[in-house]
Structure 1
Amino acid sequence: MSLFNKMLASVGIGAATVDTKLEHDTVVPGGEIRGVVEINGGNVEQRIDDIYLSLNTTYVKEVDDKKYTASGLIDRFRLTDSFTLMANERKVIPFSYIIPADTPLSIGKTKVWIATGLDIKNAVDPTDKDFIRVHPNEIMDSVLQAVSGLGFRLREAECEQAPYRLQRRLPFIQEFEFVPTSGPFRGRLDELEVTFYPVSSFETEILMQVDRRARGLGGFLSEALNTDESHIRFTVNTSDIPHMQQKIQSVIQRFS
């Protein structure tokens, strides 16, 4: 019977299971996630080689001019050393985990989740998946509010494969695409794209693309040659928050 149970466990029947329970499911980039991983033994003892948490999202990748959605690993965190889990044994492992500062925000199409996995030799590895909501930190929120206050509406937020020149630690970037619906830039810009590159909890680099609206023959020629777009890099920090809208407006004004 024991051999039969081992055979079943090797294909996932009557094997160990895992369930991650988070204290909270909201966090900001660079913030802390806490919880416990509950592991319940199956019908036979099993050797657990590894327990890990991985932070994941999806992003749009392009290959041979075709776009598809790919899974993106943001970070991976090992919980424990290997151990033997006895039949019907229950283990509860607490954890505390700081998510990376470049974790994308849960806005638009972007979803972020924690996957918990057990590595079990010669067996199907049990997994668990828990979605979390990544909210903007203080600086990001200030920038997004400032852009909104200037009459821009968020049209799309999505993670996309990063061009080589823009790649940092991750193979993708999260772009926030805005369109002017009111305010000083309506009729002057087609769209505004914003990407965050956190430097620390107090400072963030911003890449901004300003897409000017074509006006006259010269404007249409510029649009055809892609010279109607300006790419701007600048840095904001917590001291900019009280006057963030004025700073963002000044930057856009110079290139619109």
Structure 2
Amino acid sequence: MFKKLLSSIGIGSATVDTKLSKAQYTQGETVEGVVEVRGGSVEQRIDEIYLALVTTYIREIDDKKVEEKAVLARYKVSDSMTIGPNETKTIPFQFALPYDVPVTLGSSKVWLQTGLDIKMALDPQDRDYLTIEPHPLVTAFLEAARQLGFRLRDVQCEQAPRYWQRRLPFVQEFEFRPTGGAFRGRLDELEAIFFVSEHGVEAILEIDRKARGFAGLLAEALDMDETLVRFTYGPNDIASLPQLLANAIRRHS
């Protein structure tokens, strides 16, 4: 009875260790691996084994920026099971990453958090960080921007206004600065948000025009120098993407 009581509060209880086939993935790619469950000093009933895909984002509260956690998805690895003392069980799993998982550039981090639901017990947890590369269509945009003279300056997940929110309460913003090419001297910066799907990408571009003359300075002071542009493209547009992007920027700068 004493051992069972200790186990119920997390002493001598089961532990988990998630092992991935690799640590680097692209948005939408399938993740494969195994969860190893090791029994503690007593037999235990595990109600569920789960994997939670987690990230953080910046939220502004009372003019202060705070970091919040967000669960992007939760995956059930197994149903209820019993693990004996010092027993080890290996459970394979696979799941597809969502297309809106943030890429791990800038300050953005993504990890898998593994846990056991054990009645009346503390949850043993295992955290595995992932490297998330952009979807190939997002990579194509980054390359197109580079060809036009833009340098990727910062990437950050921030709370989104309601009209930009889709499945998640935040968006990942990519901030570019023109360091060469035709737009140097014409723009202060270019920001992009990507909504990726199976069929293509919807990008929201914020074009921050460089102040030119008194009217430009006045517009900048009143935050009227920024233009939002909806820019969509698909796999068939990759070859012409630099020109399409340049045309979109020119129309609004």
Q: TM class, shorter-chain normalised?
A: over 0.9
**C-alpha separation in 2, matches of 1:25 and 1:73:** 19
TM-score of the superposed pair, with normalisation by structure 1: 0.96
- Please show how residues 123-138 of structure 1 align to structure 2 within 5 Å: 123-138=121-136
Q: Which residue of 2 aligns with 1:219?
A: 216
**C-alpha separation in 2, matches of 1:114 and 1:75:** 10
Q: Deviation per CA, 1:121-170: give whole Å up to 9, x if none.
A: 11111010101111112111000111111111111100000111100000
Q: Which residue of 1 aligns with 2:225?
A: 228
Q: Deviation per CA, 1:88-126: give whole Å up to 9, x if none.
A: 111100001101111111111111111111011111110
**C-alpha separation in 2, matches of 1:45 and 1:171:** 41
**C-alpha separation in 2, matches of 1:135 and 1:170:** 19
Percent of paired sites with the same residue: 50
**C-alpha separation in 2, matches of 1:26 and 1:156:** 21
Q: Kindly report structure 1 stretches of 4+ aligned residues shifted beyond 4 Å.
A: none
Q: Which residue of 1 aligns with 2:49?
A: 51
Q: Which residue of 1 aligns with 2:234?
A: 237
Q: Which residue of 2 aligns with 1:247?
A: 244
**C-alpha separation in 1, matches of 2:219 and 2:41:** 70
SS at match of 2:238: helix
Cα displacement (A) at 1:11? 2.9
**C-alpha separation in 2, matches of 1:219 and 1:234:** 25
State the one-letter code of the partner of 1:179: R
- Please show how residues 17-96 of structure 1 align to structure 2 within 5 Å: 17-96=15-94
Match of 1:112 among 110, 113, 118: 110
SS at match of 2:57: strand
SS at match of 1:190: strand
Gaps of 5+ in 2: none
Match of 1:199 among 190, 197, 214: 197
2:208 matches 1:190 = no
Gaps of 5+ in 1: none
How many residue pairs align between the two structures? 253
SS at match of 1:103: coil
SS at match of 2:223: coil
Cα displacement (A) at 1:199? 2.5
**C-alpha separation in 2, matches of 1:115 and 1:61:** 22
Q: Which residue of 2 aligns with 1:121?
A: 119
Q: RMSD between aligned alpha carbons?
A: 1.0
**C-alpha separation in 2, matches of 1:56 and 1:236:** 28
2:206 matches 1:209 = yes
**C-alpha separation in 2, matches of 1:147 and 1:191:** 12
Cα displacement (A) at 1:173? 0.2
Q: Deviation per CA, 1:49-84: give whole Å up to 9, x if none.
A: 111111111000111221100001111111111112
TM-score of the superposed pair, with normalisation by structure 2: 0.97
SS at match of 1:166: coil
2:162 matches 1:164 = yes
Q: Which residue of 2 aligns with 1:8?
A: 6
**C-alpha separation in 1, matches of 2:239 and 2:216:** 36
Q: Deviation per CA, 1:23-66: give whole Å up to 9, x if none.
A: 01111111100000000000001110111111111000111221
Cα displacement (A) at 1:13? 2.2
**C-alpha separation in 2, matches of 1:127 and 1:186:** 49
